[in-house]
Amino acid sequence: MKVLLVGVGGVGEAIAALGKARPWLEQMVLADYNLARAKQVQKKIGSPKRFPVAQIDASDREAVAALARQYDVDLIMNAVEPVFNESIFDAAFAAGTHYMDMAMSLSKPHPSKPYERTGVKLGDYQFARAKEWERKNRLALIGMGVEPGLSDVFARYAADHLFDEIDEIGVRDGANLVVRGYAFAPTFSIWTTIEECLNPPVIWDKARGWYTTPPFSEPEVFEFPEGIGALECVNVEHEEVLLVPRYLKCNRVTFKYGLGDEFIGVLKTLRMLGLDNKEKIRVKDVEVAPRDVVAACLPNPATLGDKMSGKTCAGTFVTGVKNGKRRAVYLYQVADNKKCMRRIGSQAVVAQTAFNPLIAMELLDKGIWRGAGVHGPEFFDPVPFMKLMRSYGFPYKIQERAV
């Protein structure tokens, strides 16, 4: 497989680092707006012929398509902020390649009732073009990171193998990561974190369909495994809630994140001050988006690995019935920061995200996963994916929980 990797930030770098050891990966073009960054990653990985670099503006559909044609790639891997999803998605279609991302096209809240009704939902732009991709016999695999991505694979596995009837599929994410030397230092893209945490969270209910609630609603305490412990989790807008009901039968789908009071307080302050705004405003002689300023003021999550300690857990909590008995199961993957830094030089959060698209690429390359159109991970058989997880260094576990 030949891949155009658009974006070599923290996750992009980890994708390339993990991909180096994979013989099925013939070539991966490291493309970024910051050419110096792309060259830095290339130097770290080595193999310049296998990992050539290129400068690219992710918002320029024609330029992305042209670069894909230049290198005759099979797939465009989107590893930049989701604000660029539409342009890269369209570029892949124009170039006639397959496409993969880790977060779907962005939502727009309902204009008059944002905390009751959905407006433009996550992924609507992409799913609206599914027929066109089918006619072109090309696949757009959307939401193929860790959450969404691995969490959706777990949901499909639970539906296929662990339950006869499912009540709720609830993604639950938590960590005990600590960053030394900073009063506030998010371990993942603050741009994306602001987007998903301050937008109205979406819930799916069999009777009501998709609906929204206020940010940070419905707090619950969830016990995370492997020493992370009990964390208060709250509703957050996330792609799984928009993906799972398209493919799996259940009564309810939720996503809750263990953010912590301090983190929630910072996010609320950013909103109160208007610093969450992603649209450009004029400041003296410069036009700049306040959210971009926030991101520029904070440390780059990709550089925090040597200052971090602890673990992060991504998982899917499923309740329902099996053989006439109530059942509750948590399928999860825990990444330890120390181990991730030792193995690939990337911190735990980005490393845990990066291995998932690579496994998906391998399954597509070998023809184990196949399809055309626009699909989430639930469309595919989860077993081959889960069998490969240990060989990539990220084994999963399944934990029975009290009903």
What is the per-residue pLDDT across 71-112, written as a single tens digit (0 to 9) for each?
999 999 999 999 999 999 999 999 999 999 999 999 999 999
Q: Are 103 and 32 in contact (CB under 8 A)?
A: no
In 154-219, beta strands by DSSP E: 165-175, 178-179, 202-205, 209-212
Looking at the structure, tell me whether residues 225 and 96 fall in a common domain. no
In a domain, 128, yes or no: no
Is residue 300 scored above 90 in pLDDT? no
Whole-number Å distance between alpha carbons of 351 and 13: 9
Euclidean distance between the first and final Cα of the chain, in Å? 44
Backbone angles phi, psi at 161, to 5 degrees: -125, -20
Q: Both tokens of residue 96?
A: 């006639």
**Chain segment 36-68, per-residue pLDDT in tens:** 999 999 999 999 999 999 999 999 999 999 999
Which position has the higher pLDDT, 403 or 85?
85
Q: How far is CA 374 from the centre of its chain?
A: 16
Whole-number Å distance between alpha carbons of 301 and 11: 10
Q: Are 363 and 149 in contact (CB under 8 A)?
A: no
Question: Which of 82, 101, 120 marks a domain boundary?
Answer: 101
Is residue 188 scored above 90 in pLDDT? no
Looking at the structure, tell me whether residues 91 and 200 fall in a common domain. no
Q: Give the domain CATH number at 53.
A: 3.40.50.720
The average pLDDT across 224-243 equals 96
The average pLDDT across 292-305 equals 89
Vertex 274 angle, CA 271 and 276, to 5°: 60
The model's confidence at residue 186, banded by pLDDT at 50, 70 and 90, is confident
Looking at the structure, tell me whether residues 95 and 156 fall in a common domain. no
Whole-number Å distance between alpha carbons of 58 and 8: 12
**Lowest-confidence pick of 6-20, 93-107, 149-163, 173-187:** 173-187
Q: Is the pTM of this model over 0.75?
A: yes
Looking at the structure, tell me whether residues 89 and 156 fall in a common domain. no
Looking at the structure, tell me whether residues 176 and 248 fall in a common domain. yes
The average pLDDT across 128-149 equals 98
Find the DSSP H helices in 20-138.
Answer: 35-45, 61-70, 85-95, 124-127, 130-135
Question: Which of 101, 125, 159 marks a domain boundary?
Answer: 101
Closest among 150, 103, 178 to 333, alpha carbons compared:
150
Q: Are 118 and 204 in contact (CB under 8 A)?
A: no
Whole-number Å distance between alpha carbons of 361 and 2: 10
The model's confidence at residue 182, banded by pLDDT at 50, 70 and 90, is confident
Q: Are 334 and 226 in contact (CB under 8 A)?
A: yes
Vertex 353 angle, CA 99 and 102, to 5°: 30
Q: Are 86 and 107 in contact (CB under 8 A)?
A: no
**pLDDT (0 to 100) of residue 159:** 98
The model's confidence at residue 189, banded by pLDDT at 50, 70 and 90, is confident
In a domain, 315, yes or no: yes
Q: Both tokens of residue 381?
A: 């058989």
In a domain, 107, yes or no: no
Q: What percent of the chain has pLDDT over 90?
A: 90
Q: Which domain holds residue 186?
A: 150-344+397-401
Looking at the structure, tell me whether residues 76 and 185 fall in a common domain. no
Looking at the structure, tell me whether residues 260 and 155 fall in a common domain. yes
Whole-number Å distance between alpha carbons of 263 and 248: 33
Which position has the higher pLDDT, 260 or 391?
391
Number of domains the chain contains? 2
Residue with tokens 């009732």: 113
**pLDDT (0 to 100) of residue 106:** 95
The average pLDDT across 11-26 equals 96
The average pLDDT across 193-200 equals 90
Q: Which residues pair with 231 in a beta bridge?
A: 222
In a domain, 126, yes or no: no
Closest among 85, 83, 68 to 27, alpha carbons compared:
68
In a domain, 66, yes or no: yes
Closest among 330, 180, 202 to 256, alpha carbons compared:
202
Question: Which of 33, 67, 101 marks a domain boundary?
Answer: 101
In a domain, 136, yes or no: no
**pLDDT (0 to 100) of residue 302:** 81
Q: What percent of the chain has pLDDT over 70?
A: 100
Which position has the higher pLDDT, 302 or 339?
339
For strands 252-257 and 165-175, give the pairing: parallel
Whole-number Å distance between alpha carbons of 225 and 342: 22
Backbone angles phi, psi at 370, to 5 degrees: -155, 155
Looking at the structure, tell me whether residues 71 and 165 fall in a common domain. no
**Chain segment 336-388, per-residue pLDDT in tens:** 999 999 999 999 999 999 999 999 999 999 999 999 999 999 999 999 999 99
